[in-house]
Amino acid sequence: MLAKCELCPHRCKVNRENGEIGRCKAGASVKLALASKHAFEEPCISGKNGSGTVFFSNCNLGCVFCQNYKISSGGFGKEISIDALAKIFLKEQSFGVHNINLVSPTIYVPQIIEALKIAKQSGLKIPIVYNSSGYERKETIKELEGYVDIYLPDFKYMEDELGEKYSNVREYSKYAKESILEMINQVGEPQFEDGILQKGVVIRHLVLPNHIKNSMKVLEWIKKNLDGKVIVSLMAQYFPTGNVLGTDINRKLTKREYEKITNYLYELEFKYGYVQELENHEEQYVPDFNLDNID
């Protein structure tokens, strides 16, 4: 899969095994920036014991507003072996976390699958969370069947022109829809144990300033096609960062904007969902990428 890389919709077809680099800038080795117990995911993911997050470096998107730009576009991180990745999964499990949370894993799917095989043979038992941008190929998602228990995709844009403008990707909505449907096909409707999600799909949507209509369209599609099959998570933690200077999203959400979209969410009456509170210090959700627990 790495010799002619078509893991994501860009389908660069570069030979990563021979050192060629595509859009995502990832090579043959896995690159990590942080492995830690994380308490800021949705309540059904973090619970009381936290989520064992593993942050992968590099990304197949180019979001100008990325809050993790240090590792996504900056490439900060450390290259490790597949065996080392398997050991990290097991180490995270030893901390008593509810799950292993793979953050931005798309470009490392083949290596992750091999690491999960090794880790499961050595006693990895907790659910695996695939936490992604939503810009996926359904063919790649199919490769993960049996390895992933919980899918946690973004659904950033229904208006594809915004995907081109802010994330430098084409046909975002098409690929998000196709991949999410495949995710549901694999893991089914949400299943809980003591309030903690064991299987299912949680769709996140980060509301952008000046683009409430886009958010409404995303919610409408989910309601029409997926209600009762997924958990919706509406997020307010946007703040200007990265390369947003000079754009129309170079500010935080206003209270009025967020009230408008949250009121619309309640009008749609989703079966399952979360609404993040609008706060003054959204920066608290950005991890300190310090290579902790990466050996």
Domains and CATH numbers, the chain: 33-285 (3.20.20.70)
Q: Which of 81, 82, 125, 129 is nearest to 103 (CA)?
A: 129
Instruction: Return the SS3 of 113.
Output: helix
Instruction: Return the SS3 of 110.
Output: helix
Q: What is the pLDDT along the chain (295 residues), one digit of tens a residue?
A: 999 999 999 999 999 999 999 999 999 999 999 999 999 899 999 999 999 999 999 999 999 999 999 999 999 999 999 999 999 999 999 999 999 999 999 999 999 999 999 999 999 999 999 999 999 999 999 999 999 999 999 999 999 999 999 999 999 999 999 999 999 999 999 999 999 999 999 999 999 999 999 999 999 999 999 999 999 999 999 999 989 999 999 999 999 999 999 999 999 999 999 999 998 777 777 888 888 888 8
H or E element: which one contains 4?
none
Q: What is the pTM of this model?
A: 0.97
Distances (CA, A) of 214 to 19, 163, 206: 39, 11, 11
Q: What is the largest CA-CA distance in the chain?
A: 53
